Amino acid sequence: MIPRIFIYITLILIAAALLPPAITAYMRTSKKPQPRIHFIQDMDNQGKFRTQHENPLFDDNRAMRPPVDGAVMRGEIVDSEHLTSGTLNGTWATSFPSQITVNREFLQRGRERFDIYCQSCHGLAGYGDGIVDQVARDLLVNSRLGKGTSWVPPRNLHELTIHQQVVGEIFNTISVGKNNMPALESQITVEDRWAIVAWVRALQRSQNAELTDIPESDRDNLETVNLIPSNNEEEEADEE
Amino acid sequence: MNRQHYVFPKWSNMLLPTLIAVSTVVPLYVVLLAAYGFSPKATDVGYQPEQPIPFSHAVHAGQLGMDCRYCHNTVEVAAKAAIPPTQTCMNCHEKIKKDSDQLQLLHETYQRGESIPWVRVHDLPDYVYFHHAAHISRGVGCVSCHGRVDQMEVVYQHEPLSMAWCLNCHRNPEPHLRPLGEITNLAYDPMVELTADERHQLRKLHSIDPSQDCSTCHR
């Protein structure tokens, strides 16, 4: 007969051996706020500084130093008032700058950029009904959640006053902002801002289109997708 | 009678088989435990540091449906998808909920011109040079590496980001390719939306031939 003590020791060892896998299983399935455990450090953390790293040698802890006042980035100044500020001899430019070719690709780019930077407020079709506007209106009414919210609703891009604005003025509004609208020139490149202007023009045109704006060959397609309700009613009446 | 004390007891015959069993089970146990426990899936995945401001991606990218690139606007042209400058937050929060306690640090640091001390979640070793734009421009979407950030109240590391994990995709990229228009659409799953042939066409379209050379990522 095996002495009891050996049996107990074996049972304790087996129980102890189950503990590390249990801890590991927990680590694999849980989220943890503690820094990662790196058993082998290699050269994971080196003394060098990369993009947006911290450098405690500076007061503000930034390894990337802000440019000295008056410093100009390469390519930042393009010697074209038309391209960079949307003006020509002090008045809003009425056409796109010569550096830019408005074609289908450019419009698609504008659409994509509009959907990234503008639609949250102005809405996908530009009616000023974006989701941020809807949320902000709710916050205005609900002072408990609103916490000091103030809001000037985004403009409906199909209003007559904005229709009448020339492209240079729209470009300027995107660049430097207006009322509630923030300046976006640091987020969107010059070319992309012009692309957005082109897309705004396309939206305005699309929402005020006449049947005659559509090439004759495409008009049949338009009717088959039931955009003209009178046809539907006639069909239903016929069936009855 | 007393002589029996000097004879090994009968159970001592068990010692040899026990020793053999222990010497096979213990190394196996150690190896399996090391593979299971020291894997980046255990040590790295799920890292969810507390941030200085309780910014919710679930609200901004999920509920409001803002595009990732509104804030991380360097991602298409640069190696790093930069943490946005505080100015980007202020685009909206100059007006919206400006007296909220949760946003106090935002306004304070903005006025003092300081950086918000965000805690980095996805941190590769310093000898790895991942390039965001190179992946974004060829149809590898945000969700492939970052998970459903639009559903995360607090962002956590969703993938191991280990070298084996990177190579997995570099050896067989097709399951992760999507049309460029769906890059920031985190709900889009190319395995559901596209056929194998369509994904192969995407690979050909962008001439994707991922390098597995050391110097591709290590400098």
**A230 phi and psi angles, rounded to 5 deg:** -60, -40
Q: How confident is the model at residue A179 (pLDDT cuts 50, 70, 90)?
A: confident
pLDDT of residue B14: 86
Mean pLDDT of A84-90: 88
Confidence of residue B177 (pLDDT cuts 50, 70, 90): very high
Interatomic CA distance for residues B118 and B102, integer angstroms: 14
Q: How confident is the model at residue A215 (pLDDT cuts 50, 70, 90)?
A: confident
Residue A236, pLDDT score: 45
Q: Which segment, A6-10, A35-39, A144-148, A205-209, is predicted with the most confidence on average?
A: A6-10
Mean predicted confidence (pLDDT) in B197-207? 94
Per-residue pLDDT, A227: 53
Contacts of B160 (CB under 8 A, 6+ apart): B39, B40, B41, B44, B45
A48 closest CB neighbour out of B85, B87, B126: B126
A153 domain-assigned: yes
Mean pLDDT of B49-61: 95
Residue range A112-121: mean pLDDT, rounded = 95
Average pLDDT over residues B73-98: 92
Smallest Cβ–Cβ distance between A32 and the set B47, B63, B65 belongs to B47
Residue A23: inside a domain: no
Residue A224 falls inside a structural domain? no
Nearest to A107 by CA among A174, A214, A200, A195: A195
Judge whether B54 is closer than 8 Å to chain A, CB to CB: no
pLDDT at A7 over 60: yes
pLDDT-derived band at A231, boundaries 50, 70, 90: very low
Asked if B37 lies within 8 A of A151 by C-beta distance, the reply is: no
Q: Is residue A187 part of a domain?
A: yes
Check whether B187 has a pLDDT greater than 50.
yes
Residue range A174-191: mean pLDDT, rounded:
92
Nearest to B96 among A38, A131, A139 (CB): A139
A238: pLDDT strictly greater than 50: no
Q: Does B130 touch chain A (CB under 8 A)?
A: no
CATH of the domain at A168: 1.10.760.10
Mean pLDDT within B193-206: 93
Quick one: average pLDDT of B101-122? 93
Q: Is A202 exposed, middle or buried (0-12, 13-18, 19+ CB in 10 A)?
A: middle
CB contact under 8 A, A31 and B44: no
Q: How far apart are CA B99 and CA A35, in angstroms?
A: 32
pLDDT above 90 covers a percentage of chain A that reads: 49
Domain count, chain A: 1
Average of per-residue pLDDT across A187-212:
91
Q: Locate the chain B residue with the closest alpha carbon to A52.
A: B82
Q: How far is B207 from chain A (nearest CA, A)?
A: 21
Q: Which of A17-21, A127-131, A148-152, B78-82 has the lowest mean pLDDT?
A: A148-152
Q: Which one of A147, A151, A196 makes the best mutation probe of the B interface by having the most chain B beta carbons within 10 Å?
A: A147
**Does B5 score more than 80 pLDDT?**
no
Q: Which of A3, A148, A184 is nearest residue B99 as measured by Cβ atoms?
A: A148
Distance of alpha carbon B68 from alpha carbon B88, whole angstroms: 12
Name the residue range of residue A199's domain. 81-208
Task: Examine residue A192 and state whether it is found in any structural domain, yes or no.
Answer: yes
Between A209 and B165, residue with greater pLDDT: B165
- Kindly identify which residue of chain B lies nearest to residue A40, measuring between CA atoms: B38
Could you tell me how many residues make up chain B?
219
**Does B213 contact chain A (CB < 8 Å)?**
no
The reply to whether residue B114 touches residue A43, judged by beta carbons under 8 angstroms, is no
- Give domain status of residue A175, yes or no: yes
d(CA A97, CA A151): 34
Task: Supply the mean pLDDT for chain B.
Answer: 92
Tell which B residues from 158 to 197 touch A, by Cβ distance under 8 Å: 181
Alpha-carbon distances of A85 from A74, A111, A163, A169, A203, rounded to whole Å? 18, 21, 20, 9, 23
The predicted structure's pLDDT at residue A233: 46
Q: With beta carbons under 8 A apart, name residues in chain A contacting B36.
A: 21, 24, 28
How many Å apart are CA A154 and CA A134, to the nearest integer?
A: 10
Provide the pLDDT for residue A234: 45
In chain A the first and final C-alpha atoms are separated, in Å, by 97
Mean pLDDT of B97-124: 92
Position A129 in a domain: yes
Residue B141 DSSP SS3? coil
**B7-54 pLDDT, tens per residue?**
888 888 888 998 999 999 999 999 999 999 888 888 889 999 999 999
B98/A146 touch (CB, cutoff 8 Å), yes or no:
no
Please report, rounded to a whole number, the percentage of residues in chain B having pLDDT higher than 90.
84
pLDDT band at A217 (very low <50, low <70, confident <90, very high): confident
Residue B6 banded pLDDT, cuts 50, 70, 90: confident
Kindly list the residues from chain B whose CB atom is less than 8 angstroms away from the CB atom of residue A151.
Answer: 95-96
Q: Is A119 inside any structural domain?
A: yes
pLDDT score at A144: 78
Decide if pLDDT at A147 tops 90: no
Q: Chain B contacts of A59, Cβ < 8 Å?
A: none
Tokens, residue B194? 């596209």
Nearest chain A residue to B109 by CA distance is: A60
